Amino acid sequence: MLPSSIEHLSENSELSMRYCKNLESLPNSLCNGPNLSYLHLSGSPGVEKMLENVLSSSSSPSGLLSLKRLALSECNMEVLPSALSRLSSLYRLNLRGNEFESLNLELVPSLRSLDISYCKRLKCLQASPRLDCLFASNCTSLETLPDINASFLREKCFYYYYNCFKLDESTRVKIQADARLRTKIMDPDPLSVFEVNYLTTKESFYERGSAIFCFPGSEISYWFINRNQRSSIEIDLPPHRYSYKFVVFVMCIVASCESSN
């Protein structure tokens, strides 16, 4: 049982109840108490029913309406609680390692970052076109992905599809089209050169505008003119490029991975 003092948490608090294997219900005080910004319930079986109950039992779940981040990884969920649609401020959702076969997140239009990695039964994903970050590595059954609306694209985005070898051909073509569109948005100058570097850490990329697309494939996209089958390449840039700040560098790498990690 959670202590009654939970009602006295400060505004914008973070609450972690991860891997509470015996957790059977969530207190209504979560709805009527402070404005939580982050709720971590990963590893708690039955969490979908608990969330459905606590969000549906209150006419105005004021304490959760400001929730921005929610972690529900490894909860053995097969169905996402429909009551999540009430979380109008939610922008980051972690659903790693669950048992979904299909997933519709269009009911959470505010969502900008989604992690569904290791959802190995997941075949179909529907989500808001506003997604900037989609981590779907090791979704080994995944076949289709949501469209990305160009009008919502921002300077920083990350789309990881490592080990998703069942993605159909039309989806792979769509991923490459999204990558090319992103490049044009980052630098409308047609002299921009290359696409995608996944060897640099995400943290360093957050310091400046960047886009990463990682997906299964065996060929360099046709729109890359400068190519090399070796581990390095030299590129001649137009002389005027050195007269002002270098705007964007785009790179595409085809590499084999010995481990899913």
- In order of 127, 137, 158, 174, the CA distances from 140 in angstroms are 19, 8, 19, 19
pTM (two decimals): 0.79
pLDDT digits (tens, 9 = 90+) for 87-136: 888 999 999 999 999 999 888 888 999 999 999 999 999 987 788 899 99
Sole residue written with tokens 């309406």: 65
Domain boundaries, the chain: 1-90, 95-223+233-261
Beta-carbon-side half-sphere exposure of residue 136 (alpha carbons within 13 Å): 31
Report the 10 Å Cβ neighbour count for 172.
16
For position 119, what pLDDT does the model report?
A: 97
Token pair listed for 59: 């006419």
For the chain, how are helix, strand and coil distributed in percent, rounded to 5? Answer: 20, 15, 65
Question: Chain-centre distance of CA 19, in angstroms?
Answer: 22
Question: Chain-centre distance of CA 67, in angstroms?
Answer: 17
pLDDT digits (tens, 9 = 90+) for 58-96: 555 556 778 899 999 999 999 998 888 888 889 999 999
Indicate if the pLDDT at residue 27 is higher than 50.
yes
Beta-carbon-side half-sphere exposure of residue 40 (alpha carbons within 13 Å): 7
Question: Chain-centre distance of CA 226, in angstroms?
Answer: 31
Q: Tell me, what amino acid is at 244? A: Y
Sole residue written with tokens 């505010």: 110
